[in-house]
Amino acid sequence: MKVSQPPQESATIAAIDLGATRIKAGLVVDGVIRTSTTTVLGPDDKTQDGIVLRLDAVFHDLCARGNVDPSAIAAIGIGAAGATRHVEGIIAHSPNFPAWSEFPLRRLLVERLGLPVHLDNDANALTLGEARFGAGRGYRDFVCLTLGSGVGGGLFLNGQVYRGAFGMAGELGHITVVPEGFPCNCGNRGCLEQYASATGLRNRVRRDDLFGGLTDTALADPDLPRRLFEAARAGDERCRGYFDDFGYHLAIGIGTILQVLNVRLVILAGGLARALPAFGPRLMAELPGRGYPCVNSVADVVPCALWEDGGVLGAAALVDEAQAGKS
């Protein structure tokens, strides 16, 4: 007599998107976010000890909100801003948090929480999320660019995230698009993220402020990129020029990437990807001439599918990847 087995319960993953200004976290089951929370980072979170304490608090708050015992969580996935050595679980460098240099975040969280932790660069995590749940489904090769405060990048090649020899491949925001251009936090000058990001838009606004009327507070306003986009859509010629410049430099960067990788798909994610109607026309007009047209013209450039959920679902996908033995 065959005895039927009860169906196994799906694993609950604590997924954390650790950004430059905030932490988004969620409890994820089978690719669905069941409970979520957002925490703004404060001054105390800039140290290694401080962010470990903050992540501990976020994890337990998330479990309480979801009415889940912390010991029932299968694993924790974290996508973190900065250059990350995935295999070692170390944040090698974070331009927004200098104290996080050579930061063994995974080890410290494992010791504190007693659960498996899987850590990677936030753009790699988001790329994996788009491959599993979003616009990259069905593709074995694509590139993902995250357009936000800076420019992140992820390479999905031959059906998996490509991390390179030391786990830090895909830093596409630091491709040089203007030799000896604006200085970048990475140490280079003229990086893509200095022109095709919120930082890039602020650079343009600052450069156009001929009479010094704008304060640093006004330039740092997190809502500034959205207001510039709305003004461009309303027909403001100066703001339309900002996004035209944005698309021009993004085409140089994407053209370079396509010449190296010859992928069929480029996914644009991050908050500024929503401004595609403003910068897209210049991007698509410029792209065919930035390398062999037979390479650049056949690539589709599309917005992401996951949007605000991409970071959390990407962090959950890191756990799925590790459990499948592909990490």
Mean pLDDT (10-residue bins), the chain, 327 residues: 48 92 93 93 93 96 95 95 90 87 96 96 94 94 93 94 88 94 90 94 82 66 89 93 96 96 96 95 94 89 95 94 73
Q: Do 33 and 168 fall within a single domain?
A: no
- Please indicate, yes or no, whether residues 36 and 167 belong to a single structural domain of this protein: no
Same-domain pairing of 102 and 224 = no
CB of 116 within 8 A of CB of 110? yes
Distances (CA, A) of 18 to 96, 119, 138, 168, 320: 12, 10, 28, 17, 18
CB atoms within 10 A of CB 16: 30
- On the CB side of 179, how many CA atoms lie within 13 Å of its CA? 0
Predicted confidence at residue 249, as pLDDT, reads 97
CATH of the domain at 87: 3.30.420.40
274: containing domain? 139-304
The count of other CB atoms within 10 Å of the CB of residue 214 is 15
When divided into structural domains, the chain yields a total of 2
Do residues 118 and 155 touch, judged by C-beta distance below 8 A?
Answer: no
The dihedral sign for the CA sequence 36, 37, 41, 45: negative
93 with 232, same domain: the answer is no
Shared domain check, 154 and 225: yes
Same domain, 120 and 169: no
Statement to judge: residues 104 and 164 lie in one domain: no
Q: How far apart are CA 263 and CA 280, in angstroms?
A: 19
Q: What is the pLDDT of residue 218?
A: 73
Kindly state whether residues 181 and 90 are assigned to the same domain: no
Pair (294, 154) in one structural domain: yes
* Pairing assessment for the beta strands 75-80 and 83-85 based on DSSP bridges: unpaired
Tell whether 279 and 316 lie within a shared domain. Answer: no
Give the closest residue to 164 by CA, choosing from 261, 98, 229, 58: 261
Strand order in the sheet with 12-18: 32-40, 22-29, 12-18, 75-80, 117-121
Instruction: Classify residue 277: in a domain, yes or no.
Output: yes
Mark whether 162 and 113 lie in a shared domain: no
36: which 2 tokens? Answer: 């979520």
